[in-house]
Each structure stands twice: as C-alpha cells, then as structure tokens.
Amino acid sequence: MRTHHLAVLGGDGIGPDVTDAALLGVRAAGERFGFTVHATDFDGGAEAYLRTGTALDDDTVLRLRSHDAILLGAVGDPRVPPGVLERGLIVALRVALRQSVNIRPVRLYPGVTSPVTTVTPDNCDLVILRENTEGLYTGGGSLSHAGTRNAVAVQNSVTTAQATRDTVEFGFRLASARRNRLTLCHKTNILVHAGQLWQDVVDEVAADYPDVEHDYVHADAMCQHLPLDPGRFDVVVTDNLFGDIISDLGATVQGGLGLAASANHNPTGSAPSMYEPVHGSAPDIAGTGWANPAAAALSAALCLAGLGERDAALALEAAAASVLAELPAHSGPEMGDDTAGIGRRIADRVIDIDPVAVADPDRSLMSALATLAPAHRPG
C-alpha cells in the first residue's frame, strides 16, 4: 500500500478547521484508491510566534523537508503586526523549499455562479502560474527620512533567469498537457529590464514546444480580458506581483476567494510542495463554524495530484465541486452544515463519485499535475 506523509500546518483562525475538514476528503480518497495518509500536525502561526518570538525556525524547516507534501491552512492574527507571519512564515517557506511556481487554477464549476455574467463553466478553465519567490517580494530596499516630508522609499525587484525559467518551463509543460496555449502576462513596455528577461526566457523555452502557441498580454489589459473573455487563456505565466493581483481577480471570476485553491510548487522535487486555500484566517468568522472548507479541499486535491494520485485528485475535486454547487454564495447559518459537516459531505461523495464528473481527464490540471509533478520522496 502506498503511504503519503503529509505535514499539516493549520495555522490561525479558520485555518485548522478548514484543513481538518479537507483531510477527511483526502482520507476518503485514500480508502477508495488504495493509499494511506500519514498526517503530522505542525505548530505554526500566531500562537507559536507569540510564544517563541519566531515565525519559522530552522528545525521546523528541516522537519517539513522530511514530508512528501505540506497542507497549509492560513496564518494571520490581529495580535501580530501585518506581514510578520505572511513574510516570516509563508514567503520564507516558499523560498526555503524552492516552491518557485504558484499554481492558481481559475475554474468555474457547474452550479457555481460567477459575479461576471459572461463567465460560464464552459469558458472558464485556466491556470495562472505566478513566480513565487522573487520580483518585488524579496523585501530588499530602504526607507530613508521615514516619517518626514523628505521620506524616500526604494523597494527592489529581483528577477533571475533561473526562477523565471522554473515558472515558464513548467508553464509550457502544463500547456502541452492541456490546450497548448501559453500567455505571458507582464508590463514589458514599462518594466523594460525584467520584462525583457521574461520575454527572452519565454522565447527560448518556446522553441522546445513547437505545438504550444504563445502570446503576450499586458498586466493592466489582463484585468479586462480575464473577466470578459477567460476562454482565450489556457496557461498564464507571470511574475510575483502581477500574479498576486490577477489571481485574486481570477478568484472573483470563479465565484469568490472562498473557493480558490493554490499550490506552491517545487518543480524540481528537491523539497516538498505546499498546498493552501487562497483565503486568509478570516478572524471575523473564526470559531463560528461558518468557514467553507471547499477551497481547502480543492487545494488538497491539488496535493493529491502533486503526489501522483490522479484519480484520487479528480474524485476529491469532483466531490468538492458538487458540494459547492449546493452551498449558498455567502457563508453563514444558511449553509445548513458547519465546516466539519461540509467536510464530511465532501468525504462521503469522494467514495462513489465519478472522478471525471467535472473534468476532462485528458486536459485537466489534476491529470497534468499528476504526470508532471516530480516526486519528493525523502524517506
């Protein structure tokens, strides 16, 4: 029997609840498709930070490395200054574990309504690949004369060929496993240095993928094309900042942050990848039981795909999508079930749902990821 060792970092607020609920679906998939899940809880987030004064220590990174994959809930707490945990834990892990590609699927599942009337399940199935470790997010720079009228801030942006290539190469591989189309999204007309590097890498890698068509869209224009004509995109590759912004737009297009999933993907297999819902710790509803675990369950489906469990991933995605279609647009008492209850509903459906109920198995992200993701098998 195959065993997958998962590190589980529930984090803060609704993070632990949605992660526990998602794990029910993962275990159900294991029962159906013949693998065992060994989950180890990790302490991380606000409580641990307030107790120890560090967001992430070397020993934790070392222990995380010995797992096949990491499931993250969310971090963030009103008692901790903004940025401490986001940068000190999440961004730090992405860098330490070379999770250089952030995978953000943008799919409108049948039965879910997009706030954009032109978006339908038939035209909304794209994948945004955001470079995950560089750009303006490396933190370098300075602020002089702070708090005065002469204040000057410099925020450095770093773009290396290696990290860009990680994202672009994975993009072409993914596009060739899907609909053979890749779009570079940047601002090459203004950010001429970084833009040129991105375009050079795309042109160079494109030569190895003659079957994949590629084009270019400015980041600002993307904010119009994505909601109005999502069907023109298959795989979109972009830098860290533009990716952050357009993938939140993508989340809105697909029905809301509450159902957006993501993977922090290590394309080399040198360390475990990390899977997390896009939403945060939602302190406003923490403890109410109203957190929707669908985004966490869809992220866990990406995790199963990353572990090579294609059918399990497709079944968990289909089960989460079918439960989503029954939930109200906004969480609250009208959901009928609490977070754990919705997790159990998803898990029950994993057992007998048709794995290809909502996906074309030959074109789906889950199938592609199951084939393309390199195994990280530490032990």
Among 47, 213, 244, 337, binds Mg ion (CB under 5 A): 244
Instruction: Tell me: does residue 213 bind Mg ion (CB under 5 A).
Output: no
CB nearer to ligand NAI: give 39 or 257. Answer: 257
CB nearer to Mg ion: give 244 or 348. Answer: 244
Closest approach of Cβ 341 to Mg ion, in Å? Answer: 28
* Partner interacting with residue 285 (select from Mg ion, ligand NAI, none; CB below 5-8 Å by kind): ligand NAI
CB nearer to Mg ion: give 90 or 323. Answer: 90
CB nearer to Mg ion: give 45 or 355. Answer: 45
Instruction: Tell me: does residue 31 bind Mg ion (CB under 5 A).
Output: no
Helix (H) or strand (E) holding 107: strand 101-107
Locate the DSSP E strands across 156-299: 181-186, 213-218, 235-238, 261-265, 273-277
Instruction: Tell me: does residue 86 bind Mg ion (CB under 5 A).
Output: no
Token readout for 23 is: 């794990």
* Partner interacting with residue 244 (select from Mg ion, ligand NAI, none; CB below 5-8 Å by kind): Mg ion
Residues that bind ligand NAI (CB under 6 A): 14, 18, 74-76, 82, 86, 90, 257-258, 276, 279-285, 291-292, 295, 331
Closest approach of Cβ 330 to ligand NAI, in Å? Answer: 8
CA dihedral 158, 162, 164, 165 (to 10 degrees): 170
Closest approach of Cβ 280 to Mg ion, in Å? Answer: 9
Token readout for 296 is: 């966490």
CB nearer to ligand NAI: give 67 or 94. Answer: 94
Structure letter (DSSP) for residue 72: E
Residue-by-residue DSSP string for 4-45: EEEEEEEESTTHHHHHHHHHHHHHHHHHHHTEEEEEEE---S
Distances in Å between the Cα of 46 and the Cα atoms of 20, 76, 89, 125, 182 are 18, 7, 10, 35, 39
List residues bridging with 39 in a β-sheet.
Answer: 6
* Partner interacting with residue 86 (select from ligand NAI, Mg ion, none; CB below 5-8 Å by kind): ligand NAI
List residues near Mg ion by CB under 5 A. Answer: 244
